[in-house]
Amino acid sequence: MHAQLNLWFRCKLIARQPRPSSLFVIDPEMADGRGEFLAPSGYWLKTMVALMRIGSRLRIFRYPLFAHLAVIKILLKGLIDSPLLDNPTTTQILDVLATSSPSCSLPVVPLAVRSPYLNAWINLKLEDGTAVPSPGGTWPTVWNGQGIGWVGLVRVDGKVSHEWQGNQGGFLPTNTTALYMTATRTIFTIQAGPVEFNVTYLSPVEEQPSDWVRQSFPFSYVSIDTVWSTDGQEHQVQFYLDTTGEWLSNDHDEELIWSTSAAPKSIIHSIKRTYQQPFNENGDFSTDGSVYFAISQMYPGLTWQSGFSTDMRLLFGNQGVLNNTEDAQHRTMYSTQPAVATSINLGTFSTTASPIVWAVGYVRDPAIRYTVGQSTQLRRSYFWTKYQTINDAIDDFLLDFPNALSRAAELDNKVLADAAQVSSKYASVTALCLRQTFGAMDITVSKTTSGDWNESDVKVFMKDLGNSRRINPIEVLFAALPAFLYFNATLVRYLLDPLLDCSISSNPVNGYAPADIGSTYPNVNGILGDQYSFGLDTSATMLTMILAHAQKSGDATLIETYFPLLKLWADFLVANTLDTNKFSSSDGLAKFDSNLAFKSIIGVYAMSEISRLVEQGASSYSLSDNYTSAAESMTQQWLTLGLSSDGHMTSSNGVKSSWGLAYSLYALALLDASWIDEKIINAQTLFYSSQIGLAGAYGLPYTSDASLTRSDWTLFTAAALTDNILRDNMIDAVFTRMHLNRSDCPWPTSYDSQTGSLNGGCASPSQGAMFAVLAKKLSNLPISVNVSNGVMSRSLTAPTTSATGPIHSTGNEHPPTRGQQNMSVIIGSVLGCLAIAGFIFGSLFFLRKRWIRKTTLARMRHASAFAFEEEKTVTTPKTVLAAVGKRQIIALRPELDSPNRISTVLRNEVEDLRREVAVLREIRSEAGPPPVYDGPLVV
């Protein structure tokens, strides 16, 4: 906190009017680190600044920053008696100072970021690096750079109109005198002639573990508060905000329809495509959504309108009002561009603290089409469990703004307080990444067969934003894991559950974890495909995440439900970990075999801990001990194969001078594993210390034979090391790229370590890795696995392993297919039936033979003069198996060596058994996934 306080002190305080509501306006020049406090007016203000300077130089401000602000507030009260000091908005301004970091050099900042399709940013740098003086000098964009017609105007004294957002032209410009970022808010202080005001863009992140209604609502707030005069005079002020349909499509010929409705408490505009295409995308835009733009009806000077965007903006500029009419002539996006707008007349004043609040959102209903096996669900956003209509939901959202702001300030306080203990730059990177991480998800719920909400069936789907339409990609989930664990570990369960559900329901069931569950977001088809080459990476990552979730949340549901599947993946790791040549990392970067192998070993260790949880209360931990032994054995081999003489990981086999970002060490730190010798981590730390001085401006490369790097793996590596100075240097490199003076896109994850040139990952949720340092400090919670109560309910018919431990196979072959599994079951069933029939046949034959022998002897005694005739031999049927197609086998008719009546009866019995087996085989073949096993698991 001391570092953050000093950073705050370096900012330049401009107080043009001696009113507490306008004291804390931060000049952009503070970014150079040489700013100082200025007190141009008021003896009391000069006194306060002098006291603060003295305190700073004497280093007496070592207490939490919030305490200092409380002291300042008391000091202000003693110097000037003003009721504004007790105004909630003034308190919020003080909170902003306590929870924000100066961000004037950021090239792109978030505005409204709540979902994959409500993802708006603003670029504050031109292509040549020139700063844009205000949000009014450029168009907001969605994450991929497509512009949005989202315009804000302010009219002062009925004469002059200024553009504070957008780039319509024809209006006077505004000037940004301050820009601050918190984890949930972007705050601009904007000057428009003799008036200044704050514009806050709030995208809530709800920290409550089960507040799915609020977190799933894809809306953000835009508010204007604390409007004040800079010349001490009263001024008449009106505000205007509109939006177009460019949230919906990048096709200018797209036909749109719009409407305006009066909810009980709000005016609500909506725009959507005329022709909807459910569950599809076109150029990163959803083809089945509606954009909503709303404002409360409580404002006395409220007017609204829909129509040609330019006409409405000019109307407001000239008259300060709109005409409360709706344009019924629906048309294409760029045919006299349609827009929806609202305006507010604040009247005449010198200072006002009453906020104006808008809501902007993007709704798709249903949100996700989820197909697993033969079943398809149309899943809806969770907020629908509370609301019957979207208007009711929007009303509540607007009414909740004061509470939402309070919750946001509390969360921002927490992030800043924790992150600033690491460094001020770390506080900045955590503040920027949070909305980016949480803004790539849809939180969904299903309905029961009776049509009721199944609120226990929560599934969260993440889009691979910035890269593709992949759904819940494992490497992205792993990168974002620290943020989810830090804020709401419960989310991890619902993000991983779809991957596990699709895996165990697939046909065939793979012996390794999938890389994702589809590539056509928001259409989850559950098609896993051939992802064998990523099997080591994905299986190890899934086991690591499942154990981390259980440790940090205390929830063992995933372990209880999917243990057989987890065991299958762990056995795959044991069989293949030391043979990494045929495997790749799922992040698409260059091969780094020793890192991948170590990651896999950690996955086996994770399974040993998972097994230990399952075996709690048992007489022994045989399964857990076997996995632990396997991990230790592989570690000893890895030490020889994967390390150089100085102890660092090599990135190329046999090249001892090669190296890379050993981010797998973070999994070790996160799980608090103690079985690895700390000397390995110390050696890696020493090696990076020798390389950091030679690194590019933007950090160490991912491997020594390429210049690309990744911010997420950099933070993972930094968090795992034992040298805090080295850790901070690596964080500083990420901070430097975050502030790179370019207009590439929202903060990317992959770039050149020397030049900073973009490689990919714009607006990616992978930036949740910035919380790696904080997540590592989280405490583990007690975990209890209830084995007797429906545990292991998702069983599978798949390649089986020893009940006491993993099978050590060569790993040269792909896991058996589902067809091969079915063949084994059928052959076993047929042979079993034949064995039973043979036993019956043999018993009857033996009895018959004894009966014949007795009869023959009796005849010989009484009548026969002939020698005993040789009995005919009856042999068992000869059965031949023949293949039919790829997935079925049939039994050919047996050849009998004797036509006697008893053999014929037995033959008919065997044929009946065969037919029954064939029927069972066909049923199994057509049924798809294996039957669910509800009994207790034997371990």
Q: Whole-angstrom Cα distance, residue 19 to residue 76?
A: 10
- Judged against a pLDDT cut of 60, whether residue 58 lies above it is answered with no
Which of 381-385, 808-812, 900-904 is the least confident region?
808-812
Express each pLDDT in 189-221 by its tens digit: 999 999 999 999 999 999 877 799 999 999 999
**Whether 405 contacts 80, CB under 8 Å:** no
Instruction: Give residue 62's pLDDT.
Output: 30
Instruction: Give residue 128's pLDDT.
Output: 67
Contact partners, residue 362, CB within 8 Å, separation at least 6: 114, 115, 117, 118, 218, 247, 286, 289, 290, 291, 292
Instruction: Give residue 80's pLDDT.
Output: 37
- Judged against a pLDDT cut of 90, whether residue 726 lies above it is answered with yes
Q: Tell me the pLDDT band of 520, cut-offs 50, 70 and 90.
A: very high
Mean pLDDT, rounded, for 806-817: 38
SS3 string of 43-59?
Answer: HHHHHHHHHHHHHHHCC
Instruction: Give residue 354's pLDDT.
Output: 85
Give the closest residue to 157 by CA, choosing from 234, 230, 224.
234
Q: Whole-angstrom Cα distance, residue 81 to residue 79?
A: 7
Distances in whole angstroms, Cα of residue 891 to Cα of each of 694, 719, 830, 879, 912: 71, 62, 8, 7, 12
N residues, the chain: 939
Q: Interior CA angle at 333 toward 330 and 338, to 5°?
A: 60
Cα R_g (the chain), whole angstroms: 35
Q: Interior CA angle at 58 toward 61 and 56, to 5°?
A: 50
Residue with tokens 């603003």: 122
The CATH fold assigned to 101-365 is Beta-galactosidase; Chain A, domain 5 (2.70.98)
Mean pLDDT, rounded, for 151-175: 95
Q: Dump strand ranges (E) for 624-749.
A: 708-710
Q: Whole-angstrom Cα distance, residue 216 to residue 204?
A: 10
Q: Rounded to the nearest 5°, which phi and psi values hold at 442?
A: -125, 125
Mean pLDDT, rounded, for 838-849: 52
What are the tokens at 791? 């545990």
Q: Whole-angstrom Cα distance, residue 559 to residue 103?
A: 43
Q: Which amino acid is at 75?
A: L
Torsion of Cα atoms, 54 then 55 then 60 then 61, to 10°: -150
Q: Residue 203, Cβ neighbours under 10 Å: how many?
A: 27
Q: Whole-angstrom Cα distance, residue 859 to residue 652?
A: 89
Give the closest residue to 320 by CA, choosing from 151, 159, 152.
159
Contact partners, residue 682, CB within 8 Å, separation at least 6: 647, 722
**Whether 656 contacts 644, CB under 8 Å:** yes
Name the most confidently modeled range: 52-66, 651-665, 729-743, 898-912: 729-743
What are the tokens at 304? 């609204």
Instruction: Give residue 386's pLDDT.
Output: 98
Q: Whole-angstrom Cα distance, residue 3 to residue 420?
A: 7
Express each pLDDT in 534-574 by its tens digit: 999 999 999 999 999 999 999 999 999 999 999 999 999 99
% of the chain at pLDDT higher than 90: 60
Give the closest residue to 651 by CA, choosing from 635, 668, 634, 663.
663
**Whether 551 contacts 671, CB under 8 Å:** yes
Express each pLDDT in 262-287 by its tens digit: 988 999 999 999 999 999 999 999 99
DSSP SS3 for 914? helix
Instruction: Give residue 859's pLDDT.
Output: 37
Bridge partners of 229, per DSSP, are 195
Which of 396-410, 570-584, 684-698, 902-916 is the least confident region?
902-916
Instruction: Give residue 30's pLDDT.
Output: 32
Reply yes or no: is the peptide bond before residue 514 cis, omega within 30 of 0.
no
Domain ranges, ordered by start, for the chain: 2-86, 101-365, 463-776, 818-927
Q: Whole-angstrom Cα distance, residue 185 to residue 110?
A: 8
Q: Tell me the pLDDT band of 792, cut-offs 50, 70 and 90.
A: low
Q: Select the more confidently predicted residue: 616 or 804.
A: 616
Mean pLDDT, rounded, for 311-332: 96
- Judged against a pLDDT cut of 80, whether residue 877 lies above it is answered with no
The per-residue DSSP string of 722-780 comes to: S-HHHHHHHHHHHHHHHT-S--SSS--SEEETTT--EEE-TT-GGGGGGGHHHHHTPPP
- Judged against a pLDDT cut of 70, whether residue 71 lies above it is answered with no
- Judged against a pLDDT cut of 80, whether residue 163 lies above it is answered with yes
- Judged against a pLDDT cut of 70, whether residue 323 lies above it is answered with yes
Instruction: Give residue 132's pLDDT.
Output: 74
Express each pLDDT in 94-105 by its tens digit: 444 444 444 457
| CA dihedral over 930, 792, 368, 538, signed as positive or negative | negative
Residue with tokens 């844009």: 132
Strands 152-156 and 140-142 turn out to be unpaired
Mean pLDDT, rounded, for 98-114: 74
% of the chain at pLDDT higher than 70: 71
Q: Whole-angstrom Cα distance, residue 160 to residue 172?
A: 8
Which of 359-373, 572-586, 632-646, 856-870 is the least confident region?
856-870
Q: Tell me the pLDDT band of 183, cut-offs 50, 70 and 90.
A: very high
Which of 46-50, 316-320, 526-530 is the least confident region?
46-50
Q: Which amino acid is at 376?
A: T
- Judged against a pLDDT cut of 90, whether residue 625 lies above it is answered with yes
Q: Select the more confidently predicted residue: 125 or 289.
A: 289
- Judged against a pLDDT cut of 50, whether residue 53 lies above it is answered with no
Mean pLDDT, rounded, for 170-184: 93
**Whether 182 contacts 102, CB under 8 Å:** no
Same fold, 101-365 and 463-776: no
Name the helix (H) or strand (E) containing 495: helix 490-505
Q: Whole-angstrom Cα distance, residue 284 to residue 738?
A: 24
Residue with tokens 């918190």: 182
Instruction: Give residue 28's pLDDT.
Output: 32
Which of 321-325, 742-746, 783-787 is the least confident region?
742-746
Mean pLDDT, rounded, for 835-841: 55
What are the tokens at 521? 């977001």
Mean pLDDT, rounded, for 117-125: 93
Distances in whole angstroms, Cα of residue 119 to Cα of each of 67, 465, 746, 763, 816: 36, 10, 10, 9, 43
First to last CA, the chain: 50
Q: Tell me the pLDDT band of 131, cut-offs 50, 70 and 90.
A: confident
Is residue 866 packed enough to be buried (19+ CB in 10 Å), middle (13-18) or exposed (0-12)? exposed
Instruction: Give residue 913's pLDDT.
Output: 53
Instruction: Give residue 840's pLDDT.
Output: 54
- Judged against a pLDDT cut of 80, whether residue 485 lies above it is answered with yes
Q: Tell me the pLDDT band of 431, cut-offs 50, 70 and 90.
A: very high
Q: Whole-angstrom Cα distance, residue 271 to residue 326?
A: 12
Q: Residue 539, Cβ neighbours under 10 Å: how many?
A: 30
Q: Tell me the pLDDT band of 836, cut-offs 50, 70 and 90.
A: low
Bridge partners of 348, per DSSP, are 236
- Report the mean per-residue pLDDT for the chain: 79
Instruction: Give residue 514's pLDDT.
Output: 94
Mean pLDDT, rounded, for 888-899: 35
**Whether 149 contacts 131, CB under 8 Å:** no
Per-residue b or e along 399-423, where b marks 16 or more CB atoms closer than 10 Å to that residue's CB = eebeebbebbbebbbbbbbbbbbbb
Q: Whole-angstrom Cα distance, residue 656 to residue 648?
A: 9
Per-residue b or e along 68-94, where b marks 16 or more CB atoms closer than 10 Å to that residue's CB = bbeebbeebeeebeeebbebebbebbb
Reply yes or no: is the peptide bond before residue 522 cis, omega within 30 of 0.
yes
Q: What is the reported pTM?
A: 0.78
The CATH fold assigned to 463-776 is Glycosyltransferase (1.50.10)
Name the helix (H) or strand (E) containing 75: helix 65-79
Which of 328-332, 734-738, 774-778, 883-887 is the least confident region?
883-887
Residue with tokens 């109109």: 161
Instruction: Give residue 825's pLDDT.
Output: 44
**Whether 420 contacts 3, CB under 8 Å:** yes
| Alpha-helical regions (H) of 299-346 | 309-319
Mean pLDDT, rounded, for 723-750: 93
